[in-house]
């Protein structure tokens, strides 16, 4: 065997243990320096984009009013009123708006005006170097999960799983939004929204699935999007993470299917803990032969022994907190809180 053949065999041999354990190179996260954006201040110019679905004029007007009420100025992306079927313009138009807002030094935050399908289509063409060189607050939820996680994986930039600009900004939502993005509170304890929501509302019923207290790096988002990225360059990896998840209008069997996919692709068994938000509309129809949502998530998550809860105040609901992707946080199942242990902005 000559030297070239020997070197090739050695390389294949070194890769074998990874393949045996199902860890292809795409599952190994690079060690990136954590990048925190600058905190927001009154008067800052906020760029509004629609990287997913089209936003009607009434919702866009609400988005602008929401941010102006908080004391910010707004700038609309050039293609924000574009429409192509179910998405907000062509992929190139939405990509241009994303890149343009990050490249513009006058823009202090990039705020998604709404979520909706279409974000995953942009991932392979995003200029992550541009984003890394121009870090700023980037915020949204639901399908924006795809962008938040991809940006964090590729650049190290802390993103924010929080209300889209057209959300209903309740006092709870505003309190925890400003605490994270403007006041940079640390530590910052996020309790349930029981002082704002009707305590009898079935959406806001807290449940401890597995008791305990744990701290780790916050990561996650919308369950449907996390599962949709499985098998791609941007696949979610739960190993060593404090995983948060939420969803809307998915039957328990579909929630089960997506969690099963993540069990087999994202190493949920290696997560440090699970902080589940509110899965609104995720119930079986009357008469269905189905597990309940609670039974479904318990079967999928409790076996790992990691602390796990359901019903924290985030998701497709009015009272939602803002969770930074990529910072240290603590889940306390007894206190019913998530506490952000470090500032997410500078």
319 is catalytic: no
Extract the residue ranges of the chain whose pLDDT is less than 50. 1, 3-27
Look at residue 204 in the predicted model and tell me its pLDDT.
Answer: 72
3-state secondary structure of 214: strand
- Residue 20: φ, ψ to 5°: -65, -30
Helices (H), the chain: 3-20, 57-69, 91-103, 128-133, 145-155, 171-181, 223-228, 252-265, 293-301
CB 234 within 8 A of CB 221: no
pLDDT tens column, 173-207:
999 999 999 999 999 999 999 878 765 676 678 99
Candidates 246, 250, 304, 319; catalytic one: 246
**What is the value of pTM for the model shown?**
0.90
Look at residue 287 in the predicted model and tell me its pLDDT.
Answer: 87
246 is catalytic: yes
Look at residue 237 in the predicted model and tell me its pLDDT.
Answer: 98
Candidates 142, 167, 265, 313; catalytic one: 142
186 is catalytic: no
pLDDT tens column, 35-70:
999 999 999 999 999 999 999 999 999 999 999 999
Look at residue 29 in the predicted model and tell me its pLDDT.
Answer: 57
3-state secondary structure of 7: helix
Candidates 161, 188, 267, 316; catalytic one: 316
pLDDT above 90 coverage of the chain, percent: 85
């Amino acid at each position: 065997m000559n030297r070239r053949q020997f070197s090739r065999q050695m390389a294949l041999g070194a890769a074998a243990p990874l393949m045996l354990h199902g860890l292809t190179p795409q599952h190994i996260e690079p060690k990136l320096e954590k990048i925190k954006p600058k905190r927001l201040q009154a008067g800052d110019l906020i760029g509004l984009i629609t990287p997913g679905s089209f936003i009607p004029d009434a919702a866009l007007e609400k988005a602008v009013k929401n941010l102006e009420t908080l004391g910010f100025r707004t700038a609309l992306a050039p293609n924000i009123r574009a429409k192509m079927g179910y998405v907000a313009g062509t992929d190139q138009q939405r990509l241009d708006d994303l890149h343009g807002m990050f490249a513009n030094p006058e823009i202090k935050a990039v705020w998604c005006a709404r979520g909706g399908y279409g974000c995953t289509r942009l991932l392979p063409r995003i200029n992550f170097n541009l984003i890394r060189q121009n870090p700023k607050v980037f915020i949204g939820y639901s399908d924006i999960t795809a962008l938040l996680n991809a940006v964090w994986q590729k650049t190290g930039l802390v993103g924010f799983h929080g209300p889209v600009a057209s959300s209903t900004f309740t006092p709870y939502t505003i309190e925890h939004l400003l605490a994270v993005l403007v006041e940079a509170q640390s530590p910052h304890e996020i309790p349930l929204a029981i002082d704002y929501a009707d305590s009898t509302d079935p959406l806001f019923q807290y449940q401890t699935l597995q008791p305990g207290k744990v701290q780790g790096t916050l990561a996650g988002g919308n369950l449907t999007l996390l599962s949709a990225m499985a098998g791609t360059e941007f696949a979610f990896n739960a190993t060593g993470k404090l995983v948060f998840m939420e969803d809307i209008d998915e039957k328990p069997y579909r929630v089960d299917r997506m969690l099963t996919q993540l069990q087999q692709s994202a190493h949920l068994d290696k997560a440090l803990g699970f902080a589940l938000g509110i899965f609104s509309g995720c119930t079986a129809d009357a008469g269905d032969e189905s597990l309940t949502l609670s039974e479904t998530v318990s079967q999928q998550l409790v076996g790992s022994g990691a602390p796990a809860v359901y019903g924290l105040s985030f998701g497709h609901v009015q009272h939602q907190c803002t969770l930074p992707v990529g910072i240290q946080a603590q889940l306390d199942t007894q206190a019913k809180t998530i506490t952000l242990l470090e500032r997410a902005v500078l």
